């Protein structure tokens, strides 16, 4: 059975922040563009971002993109590529202003400029003291941003394919990307989208962990598709655990709470962050705060009947500030933690939040792979932006607010690169003869599978393995066992069975296909983590602790390099970190102290 | 969910009336309330009303005009209300138009009748 | 706990029917969505939309014991022993709890949902005072879940012509924005016996909104502006 083919100049997969930002470029440039999205655009996970978007506008006092860049490099524990970081921090103010012109309802200062709040790891004058850099719309910045971007796309007449799930990447004999296969959920029909350029903006895969702030749709579809098509995944061992997820529920409580003056307390009512980060205190980088919290809990100083959570106190801010700046988190705390933060502290624990790694790209959003001795050879016709891409801006740990900055800057940049490529290449490359076969064989396997396990069971096994073996603290023996375990789960994943065979909106089928993608990400994560023999940023190993020449267990001689995981044979490769920015001096590695 | 737009799907909008009717409905309602208060007040003051008192009341042109205003308000208010109901429940244009014309003629007839009641000779 | 769920798969069913589930919940199942995921782990054919599971994406709107709401922010503890679930009323059912929202989004799109400002963009942000910005509070937070529009009788009768509470709330969000220059055109676009004035202030929208917004108030303000403009 041959699949129907539709031809477009460009296909964008995903309609979250970066997908919409990229699509806006493409539509405005007049390219015939299809935007495929699993959910209606405003349901994408960008909607859940709360605290703000980082840009050195300097509305609240002096600020500069150089400081933002320094903070981001330091936050990344020097694993971030400094060209990409410079590009993002330098372009951020213009990206935010542009969004304001599109109608984003930012909070305002008395003089009418955009209000900015302090945020973790953002500092003045290269680490001196906290700075107000996070441009926000109360604690609903992501929501306001996603809706604004969608609205602007309505203005630009972007063509959306809503509730279409991309299934596989199509590459030709030369390795160029020529489109994707995709499934229309409502009808169950599969189709080939033949494109001159394909741009992935599929978001993260935080659902590989049992406890996650991520939406249920964050299943790493882009990463999975890329991995199956032979493209490596970069730095997948680095996962951000957000310090403040509601204990038990995993729902996010923004770092903006601490930006506005909220503090973390242990069971003795001690503001313990003063011990771990004397300068930045509760506003230290996320990996540092999460580790401090986990240490407090581990040492028996957690609050609650089981001493298993930390308290986030903000009642001292007063109801006015809470209702004006943090109304959404008050709502979440009441609903999910049964506490009103105006009166009581919120019980929180570090919760999986963000995927620092992803599909390797440069700062232009072009996907790059090692080829013929060049570690950064461009894959023709393939682009990635946002959480699914790894430019690498966030390195080993992302700063709060930089995800929204990343998706704006990289979405636009990848969009522009796509336009340039499409304009330079007039015609479509030919589709390979067997273009849809791989997808059809996967669908057929699922259709005919007998006596397999349910997706739910396999998924649970994966989530538990990841949580137990690859969490905030990582241990060498646990990682080793984790690799064996996750490989075993991956075997089971090949035989998932669904009972529902309907063509119409078959969510069982969707979830099975999503599980396939999650599985690739889980494998990449566990195997990359086991192999990285150091502690860096969010990757904290018990066998590599702070010692002379190895600040916080970091080994710059051996491990100042990016991991590349290939699906085929679970092979690992490495490539150097780009320490050379575009126009300024390198920020050399040093010990990370907050 | 990408459906081609059929020509019939295009709904022209902006009939450029609406707020006048909406406002009129509220103004007429206010007049109806006001008149009702005066009328009920009259009965409250006089207790049981004799024919002579009744005749005197309607003998004054002022009260006749007030009553006419009230009745016109009722008719216009009713027209907007019934038209809205017909818009909601009667979809075929021909039948709806026929019913609307019927209602309209009835209300115009009522208006003429009101004049004859108020200023007729008995 | 007992759940009675309306099921319909056009691939095999002639018409919708109710299916009962008696399900043992885990202590970690706090919200209705958790219970539905639990049911789905037993019967994978139950179809529903869901995403953020914290009430910000607007995917899992459904009719819960006769009232529209989001499954992910409806506490199981607040529900009676028997829970009856139906898809949102007034829109065509695609399957089970999934409805076709085309009409709903068409109305949203019909109000030109973007800021219109024809002045050349300044180098910096367009200034807006905190007071002017506060005008947008209670408007921009809408998550387009459709709980309101699908609980509105006026929207049931005229989904093609009445914009509905969600769309009108959005319309006022742009009218209220000091950066928007198209107030007149926006009012023209709504000056019609159906689009705006089908709202008879029934207030179901206010009653069901999971974000606590008040479309009726916004609609009232638009009407007020029209009258002010007209007289």
CB pairs under 8 A between B and C: 59
Within chain B, what is the greatest distance between any pair of CA atoms?
Answer: 75
Confidence of residue B13 (pLDDT cuts 50, 70, 90): low
Mean pLDDT (whole number) for C2-9: 97
- pLDDT tens-digit map of B21-39: 999 999 999 999 999 998 8
C225 and chain B in contact, CB less than 8 A:
no
Mean pLDDT of B1-17: 58
Interface touch A42/C57, C-beta < 8 Å: yes
pLDDT at A176 over 80: yes
Q: Report cis status (omega within 30 of 0) of the bond before A70.
A: no
- Give the closest residue to A83 by CA, choosing from A96, A69, A93: A69
Nearest neighbour of C195 by CB, restricted to B13, B21, B23: B13
- The pLDDT of residue A340 is above 50: yes
Contacts of residue B80 in chain C, CB cutoff 8 Å?
none
**Is A286 a catalytic site residue?**
yes
The confidence score (pLDDT) of residue A511 equals: 97
pLDDT category of residue B3 using cuts at 50, 70 and 90 = very low
Boundaries of every domain in chain B? 32-119
Check if C119 contacts B (Cβ < 8 Å): no
Distances (CA, A) of A445 to A493, A507, A512: 12, 17, 11
User: Do C191 and B1 make contact, defined as CB atoms within 8 angstroms?
Assistant: no
Does residue B11 carry a pLDDT above 80?
Answer: no
What is the greatest pairwise CA distance in chain C?
63
A338 shares contact with chain C (CB less than 8 Å)? no
CA A587 from centre of chain: 24
Q: Note whether B114 and B68 are within 8 A (CB).
A: yes
What would the mean pLDDT of A563-587 be, rounded to a whole number? 97
DSSP C150: G
- pLDDT attached to residue C163: 96
B9 pLDDT more than 60: no
pLDDT (tens digit per residue) in C110-153 = 999 999 999 999 999 999 999 999 999 999 999 999 999 999 99
From chain C, the residues in CB contact with A155 under 8 A are 114
Cα distances (Å, whole numbers) of residue C220 to B83, C172, C188: 22, 10, 16
pLDDT of A353 above 80? yes
pLDDT digits (tens, 9 = 90+) for B75-105: 999 999 999 999 888 989 999 999 999 999 9
pTM: 0.95
Mean pLDDT within A463-483: 96
Residue-level pLDDT at B16: 77
Give contacts of C160 with chain B, Cβ < 8 Å: 11
Q: Once rounded to an integer, what is the mean pLDDT over residues C67-78?
A: 97
Q: Would you say residue A360 has pLDDT above 60? A: yes
Spatial strand order of the sheet with A129-135 comes to: A53-54, A129-135, A116-124
- Verify whether the Cβ–Cβ distance A163 to B1 is below 8 Å: yes
Can you tell me the distance from the alpha carbon of B45 to that of B23, in angstroms, rounded to the nearest whole number? 33
Tell me the residues of chain C between 111 and 170 that have a Cβ less than 8 Å away from chain A. Answer: 113-115, 117, 121, 123-130, 132-133, 136, 140-141, 143-144
CB contact under 8 A, C192 and B23: no
pLDDT band with cut points at 50, 70 and 90 for residue C61: very high
What CATH code would you report for B32-119? 1.20.1300.10
Q: What is the DSSP string of A452-481?
A: -B-HHHHHHHHHHHHHHHSSSEE-HHHHHH
Q: Among residues of chain C, what percentage have pLDDT more than 70?
A: 100
Q: Which of C102, C154, C193 sits opposite B18 (nearest CB)?
A: C193
Which residues on B lie below 8 Å from A159 (Cβ)?
2
Q: Which residues of A317-345 are buried (b: 16+ CB within 10 A; e: fewer)?
A: beeeebeebbbbbbbbbebbbebebbeeb
Reply yes or no on whether the pLDDT at B1 is more than 90: no
pLDDT of A426 above 90: no
In the predicted structure, residue A74 carries a pLDDT above the cut 50: yes
For A478-515, write each residue's pLDDT tens digit. Answer: 999 999 999 999 999 999 999 999 999 999 999 999 99
With CB atoms and an 8 Å threshold, state whether B89 touches C157. Answer: yes
- CA-based R_g, chain B, Å: 21
Residues 6 or more apart whose CB falls under 8 angstroms from that of A513 comprise A165, A167, A183, A442, A446
Question: For residue B88, what are the CA distances in angstroms to C157, C197, C200?
Answer: 6, 12, 12
> Rounded mean pLDDT of chain A?
96
Rounded to an integer, the average pLDDT of C186-210 is 94
Does B5 have pLDDT greater than 50?
A: no
- Interface partners of A (3+ CB pairs, < 8 Å)? B, C
3-class SS at C53? coil
Of C188, C197, C231, the CB nearest to B14: C188
| CB spacing of B2 vs A162 below 8 angstroms | yes
pLDDT band at A1 (very low <50, low <70, confident <90, very high): low
What confidence score (pLDDT) does residue B122 get?
A: 59
Q: How far is A48 from chain C (nearest CA, A)?
A: 6
């Amino acid at each position: 059975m041959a699949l129907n083919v539709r031809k477009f100049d460009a296909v964008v997969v995903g309609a979250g922040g970066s997908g919409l930002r990229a699509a806006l470029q493409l539509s405005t440039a007049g390219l015939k563009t299809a935007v495929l999205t699993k959910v209606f655009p405003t349901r994408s996970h960008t909607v859940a971002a709360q605290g703000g978007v980082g840009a050195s506008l300097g509305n609240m006092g002096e600020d500069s993109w150089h400081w933002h860049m320094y903070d981001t490099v330091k936050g990344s524990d020097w694993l971030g590529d400094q060209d990409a970081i410079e590009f993002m921090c330098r372009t951020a103010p213009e990206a935010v202003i542009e969004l304001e012109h599109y109608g984003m309802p930012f909070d305002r200062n008395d003089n009418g400029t955009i209000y900015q709040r302090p945020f973790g790891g953002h500092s003045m004058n290269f680490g001196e003291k906290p700075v107000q850099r996070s441009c926000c719309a109360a604690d609903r910045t992501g929501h306001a941003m996603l809706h604004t971007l969608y609205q602007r796309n309505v203005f630009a007449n972007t063509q959306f394919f809503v509730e279409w799930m991309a299934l596989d990447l199509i590459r030709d004999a030369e390795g160029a990307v020529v489109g994707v296969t995709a499934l229309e959920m409502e009808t169950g029909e599969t189709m080939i989208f033949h494109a001159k350029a394909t741009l992935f903006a599929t978001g993260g895969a935080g659902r590989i962990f049992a406890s996650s702030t991520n939406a249920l749709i964050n299943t790493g579809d882009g990463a999975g598709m890329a991995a199956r098509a032979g493209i490596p995944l970069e730095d997948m061992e680095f996962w951000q655990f957000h310090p403040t997820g509601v204990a038990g529920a995993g729902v996010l409580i923004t770092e903006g709470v601490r930006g506005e003056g909220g503090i973390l307390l242990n069971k003795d009512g001690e503001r313990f962050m003063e011990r771990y980060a004397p300068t930045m205190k509760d506003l230290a980088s996320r990996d540092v705060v999460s580790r401090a919290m986990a240490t407090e809990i581990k040492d028996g100083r957690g609050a609650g009947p089981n001493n298993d959570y930390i308290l986030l106190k903000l009642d001292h801010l007063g109801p006015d500030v809470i209702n004006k700046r943090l109304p959404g988190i008050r709502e979440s705390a009441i609903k999910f933690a049964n506490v009103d933060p105006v009166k009581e502290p919120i019980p929180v624990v570090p919760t999986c939040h963000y995927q620092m790694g992803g599909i390797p790209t440069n700062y232009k959003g072009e996907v790059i792979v090692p080829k013929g001795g060049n570690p950064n050879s461009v894959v023709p016709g393939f682009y990635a932006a946002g959480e699914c891409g790894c430019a690498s801006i966030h390195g080993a740990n992302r700063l709060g607010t930089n995800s929204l900055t990343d998706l704006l800057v990289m979405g636009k940049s990848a969009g522009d690169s796509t336009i340039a490529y499409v304009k330079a290449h007039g015609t479509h490359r030919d589709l390979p003869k067997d273009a849809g076969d791989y997808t059809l064989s996967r669908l057929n396997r699922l259709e005919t599978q007998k006596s397999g396990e349910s997706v739910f069971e396999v998924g649970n096994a994966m989530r538990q393995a990841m949580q137990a073996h690859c969490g905030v603290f990582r241990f060498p023996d646990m990682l080793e066992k984790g690799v064996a375990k996750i490989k075993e789960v991956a075997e089971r994943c090949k035989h998932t069975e669904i009972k529902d065979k309907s063509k119409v909106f078959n969510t069982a089928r969707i979830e099975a296909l999503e599980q396939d993608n999650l599985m690739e990400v889980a494998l990449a994560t566990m195997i990359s983590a086991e192999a990285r023999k150091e502690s860096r940023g969010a990757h904290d190993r018990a066998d590599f602790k702070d010692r002379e020449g190895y600040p916080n267990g970091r080994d710059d001689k051996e491990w100042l390099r990016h991991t590349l995981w290939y699906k085929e044979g679970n092979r690992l490769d490495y490539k150097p970190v780009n320490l050379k920015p575009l126009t300024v001096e390198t920020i050399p590695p040093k010990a990370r102290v907050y | 969910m990408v459906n081609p737009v059929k020509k019939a799907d295009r709904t022209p909008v902006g009939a450029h009336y609406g707020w006048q009717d909406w406002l009129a409905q509220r103004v007429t309602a206010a007049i109806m309330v006001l008149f009702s208060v005066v009328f009920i007040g009259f009965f409250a003051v006089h207790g049981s009303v004799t024919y002579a008192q009744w005749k005197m009341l309607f003998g004054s042109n002022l009260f006749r005009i007030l009553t006419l205003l009230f009745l016109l308000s009722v008719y216009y208010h009713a027209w907007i209300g019934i038209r809205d109901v017909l818009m909601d429940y009667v979809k075929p244009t021909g039948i709806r138009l026929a019913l609307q014309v019927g209602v309209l003629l009835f209300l115009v007839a009522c208006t003429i009748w009101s004049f004859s009641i108020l200023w007729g000779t008995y | 706990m007992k759940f009675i769920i309306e099921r319909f798969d056009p691939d095999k069913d002639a018409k919708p029917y109710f299916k009962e589930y008696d399900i043992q919940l885990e202590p970690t199942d706090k919200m209705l969505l958790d219970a539905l995921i639990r049911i789905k782990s037993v019967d994978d054919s139950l179809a529903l939309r869901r995403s953020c599971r914290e009430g910000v994406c607007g995917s899992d709107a459904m009719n819960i014991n006769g009232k529209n709401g989001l499954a992910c922010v409806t506490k199981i503890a607040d529900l009676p022993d028997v829970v009856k679930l139906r898809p949102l009323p007034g829109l065509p059912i695609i399957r089970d709890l999934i409805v076709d929202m085309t009409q709903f989004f068409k109305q949203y799109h019909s109000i030109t949902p973007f800021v219109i400002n024809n002045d050349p963009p300044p180098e910096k942000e367009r200034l807006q005072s905190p007071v002017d910005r506060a005008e947008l509070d209670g408007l921009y937070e809408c998550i387009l879940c459709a709980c309101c529009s699908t609980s509105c009788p006026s929207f049931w009768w005229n989904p093609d012509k009445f914009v509905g509470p969600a769309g009108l709330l959005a319309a006022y969000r742009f009218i209220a924005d000091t950066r928007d220059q198209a107030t007149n055109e926006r009012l023209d676009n709504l000056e019609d016996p159906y689009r705006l004035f089908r709202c008879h202030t029934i207030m179901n929208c206010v009653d069901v909104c999971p974000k606590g917004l008040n479309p009726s108030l916004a609609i009232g303000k638009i009407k007020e502006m029209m009258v002010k403009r007209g007289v």
